[in-house]
Amino acid sequence: MPSVPVIKVLVTHQEAARAKYGRAGWTKIRHAATALIKADRTRGITTRLFALDSTSDAKKVHGQAVIAPTDVAAIKAAIDQISTFWQPAYIVLLGGPDLVATVNLTNPLWTGNPADDPDQFIPSDLPYACDGPLTLSPADYRGPTRVVGRIPDLVGDTDLAAFVDNLSFAAQGKSLLRTSPEPVFTVSAKVWQRSTQLSVAGLPDTSCDVHMSPPDGPMWTAGDMAPAIHFVNCHGAEFDPNWYGQQSPNNWNLPIAIAASGLPGLVPRGAVVASECCYGTSHWPPSAAQGQASVATTYLREGAAGVFGASTVAYGPAASNAYADVICRMFVAEVLNGASLGRAVLVARQQFVQAQSFLDPTDLKTLAQFNLLGDPAAVAFVTPLPAAPALPGSRRVAAPKSIPTPATSPVVLMRRGQLASIGAALARSTFACADLPRRRAGLTVTALAGLLGRALPGRTTIRTFDAETPSKPPPEAQAIVDTAGTSPRAHVAYVARAGTRPPSLVVVREAGAEPEVRVVERK
Amino acid sequence: MTQHVRGVVSLQRVARGSKSEQPAVVLQTSERSWVLRRVGGPPFGVDDELALWAGKTVDVTGYAGSGVFLLTELPTEVTG
pLDDT class for A330, splitting at 50, 70, 90? very high
| The dihedral formed by the CA atoms of A336, A411, A427 and A150, expressed in degrees to the nearest 10 | 60
Mean pLDDT, to the nearest integer, of A232-241? 96
Check: CB of residue A258 under 8 Å from CB of residue A217: yes
* DSSP label of A422: H
Is A238 within 8 Å of B1 when comparing Cβ atoms?
Answer: no
**CB-based contact A250:A207 (threshold 8 Å):** no
Question: Quick check: helix, strand or coil at residue A30?
Answer: helix
Tell how strand A175-177 and strand A489-495 pair up.
Answer: unpaired
Instruction: List helix spans (H) across A152-285.
Output: 160-172, 193-201
Under 8 Å between Cβ of A327 and A359: no
Q: What angle do CA A330, A335, A336 make, to 5 degrees?
A: 95
- Please indicate if any CB of chain B lies within 8 Å of the CB of A113: yes
Residues linked to residue A212 through DSSP beta bridges, in sequence order: A188
pLDDT mean over A188-202: 97
Give the span between the Cα atoms of A387 and A310, in whole angstroms. 40
Rounded to two decimals, the ipTM of the complex is 0.87
pLDDT of A399 reads 47
Mean pLDDT of all residues in chain A? 92
Which band of pLDDT confidence, cut at 50, 70 and 90, is reported for residue A1? very low
Contact A239 B24 (CB under 8 A): no
Span A99-109, mean pLDDT? Answer: 97
How far does the CA of residue B8 sit from the closest CA of chain A (Å)? Answer: 14
Give the SS3 label for residue A371.
Answer: strand
Q: Which pLDDT does position A501 carry in this prediction?
A: 52
- Tell me the per-residue pLDDT of A344-383, one tens digit each, with 9 for 90 and over: 999 999 999 999 999 999 999 999 999 999 999 999 999 8
pLDDT score recorded for residue A497: 62
3-state secondary structure A290-347: CCCCCHHHHHHHCCCCEEEEECCCCCCCCCCCCCHHHHHHHHHHHHHCCCEHHHHHHH
Nearest chain B residue to A366 by CA distance is B18
What's the half-sphere exposure (Cβ side, CA atoms, 13 Å) at A231? 33
Out of 2.60.40, 2.40.50, 3.30.1450, 3.30.950, select the CATH number for domain B3-77: 2.40.50
The burial of A131, by beta-carbon neighbours within 10 Å (0-12 exposed, 13-18 middle, 19 or more buried), is given as middle
Confidence category of residue A391, pLDDT binned at 50, 70, 90: low
* B64 contact residues in A (CB cutoff 8 A): none
Q: What's the pLDDT score for residue A252? A: 80
Q: Please list every residue in chain A whose beta carbon sits closer than 8 Å to the beta carbon of residue B19.
A: 235-236, 276-278, 313-316, 324, 523
Percent of chain A past pLDDT 90, that is, above it, reads: 80
CATH number for the domain whose boundaries are A173-386+395-412: 3.40.50.1460
Question: In a mutagenesis test of the A interface, which of B10, B14, B18 is the best target, namely the one with the most A β-carbons within 10 Å?
Answer: B18
Q: What is the pLDDT of residues A434-470, one digit of tens each?
A: 999 999 999 999 999 999 988 888 788 999 999 988 7
Q: Say whether pLDDT at A397 is over 50.
A: no
- pTM: predicted TM-score of the whole model, two decimal places: 0.93
The residue extents of the domains of chain A are 6-141, 173-386+395-412, 437-520
Predicted confidence at residue A498, as pLDDT, reads 54
Residue A26 main-chain phi, psi, to 5 deg = -60, -40
pLDDT at A386: 65
Asked if residue A471 has pLDDT above 90, the reply is no
The structural domains of chain B, with segments of one domain joined by +, span 3-77
- Give the per-residue pLDDT at A500: 44
pLDDT tens per residue, range B21-35:
667 899 999 989 998
Residues on chain B bordering chain A, Cβ-to-Cβ distance under 8 angstroms: 1, 12-24, 26, 32-35, 37, 39-40, 43-45, 63, 65-68, 70, 72
Task: Write b or e for each residue in A214-253: b if 16 or more Cβ atoms lie within 10 A of its Cβ, otherwise e.
Answer: bebbbebeeeebebbbbbbbbbbbbbbbbbbbbbebeebe
Q: Which of A151-155, A170-174, A281-285, A480-484 has the lowest mean pLDDT?
A: A480-484
Q: Which residue has the higher pLDDT, A43 or B21?
A: A43
Q: If DSSP codes are grouped into helix, strand and coil, which group holds residue A414?
A: helix
Contact A145, A420 (CB under 8 A): yes
Please say if the pLDDT value at position A508 is more than 70: yes
